[in-house]
Structure 1
Amino acid sequence: MSEARQNLGRWGEDLAARYLERCGWRILHRNLRTPVGEIDILARDGKTLVFVEVKTRRGLAFGTPQEAVGPAKRRQILRAAQWHLAAVAYRTTVRFDVVAILAGSGEPRIEHIVDAFGQD
């Protein structure tokens, strides 16, 4: 992955974390690495533990940011979440959200898809 793409991704994750904090969420981990994958943001929304995937795009040439979270990416996120939940033994409600950021000209557009994996 190019440095420019890494920087864009890092910028998007920073923006998403600030957005979630403004919504009253508590960020528990960022870039949580497990042996089977990485979780961009692990946060608390009230009593719910939320695994958040952040996707950032500069434009729509390759589709919307949220369209990049397809079946294979979802499986990878679910595996990483299951590994983490087994290792830490949380007893709480769990949810999977996507924060999609479109960074075109002007202010970035943030779309928060709550329970993104439950919408299939």
Structure 2
Amino acid sequence: MAEHNDRGREAEQLAREWLEGKGYVFLAENYRYKHAEIDLIMTHRELLVFVEVKFRTGTGYGYAEEFVDYKKRQLIIRAADHYIYEIDWHRDIRFDIVGVYRDPHGRVAFKHFEDAFY
């Protein structure tokens, strides 16, 4: 597996653990529907939350949320619609972005954008 894929999986695991520490309940990871993938699916306070995780070693090329463009958002929404139908969900949903940042010393920080798009 390519190094960037390994870092992405690690970032997703770190984000999952961090969100669980904030009271989120994990349901699924890497949910795929056609050409779309949702990194994490969780519940929080009776909301179904679809989470896109972005890993960065710095902000020189931009912040995590800037890398979820219109096309990516549409793919996530399409996959979320399928998941909602699949599990017969009838309550509210939300789309979040979690930026996972690792500095040159290996320290990890998170930036959480709740209700980032729809």
Deviation at 1:57, TM superposition (A): 1.3
- Which position in structure 1 is the counterpart of 2:108? 108
Deviation at 1:30, TM superposition (A): 0.8
TM-score, scaled relative to structure 1: 0.91
- Which position in structure 1 is the counterpart of 2:68? 69
Secondary structure of 1:18 counterpart: helix
Contact 1:36 1:83 in 2 (8 A): no
Q: Which amino acid aligns with 2:92?
A: T
Q: Distance in 2 between matches of 1:50 and 1:21?
A: 12
Secondary structure of 1:91 counterpart: coil
Q: Distance in 1 between matches of 2:65 and 2:101?
A: 10
TM-score, scaled relative to structure 2: 0.92
- Which position in structure 1 is the counterpart of 2:54? 55
Structure 1: 4+ residue segments shifted above 3 A:
none
Structure 2 gap ranges (5+): none
Q: Which amino acid aligns with 2:53?
A: V
Q: 1:90 to 1:36 in 2, by over 3 A?
A: farther
Aligned residues: 117
Deviation at 1:109, TM superposition (A): 1.7
- Which position in structure 2 is the counterpart of 1:39? 38
Q: Distance in 1 between matches of 2:85 and 2:62?
A: 34
Deviations 1:28-55 (A, max 9, x none): 0011112241110000002000000000
Q: Supply the RMSD in Å over aligned alpha carbons.
A: 1.3
Moved more, 95-104 or 83-92: 83-92
Moved more, 49-58 or 29-38: 29-38
Q: Distance in 1 between matches of 2:89 and 2:35?
A: 18
Structure 1 gap ranges (5+): none
1:74-85 matches, within 5 Å, as: 74-85=73-84
Percent of matched pairs sharing the same residue: 34
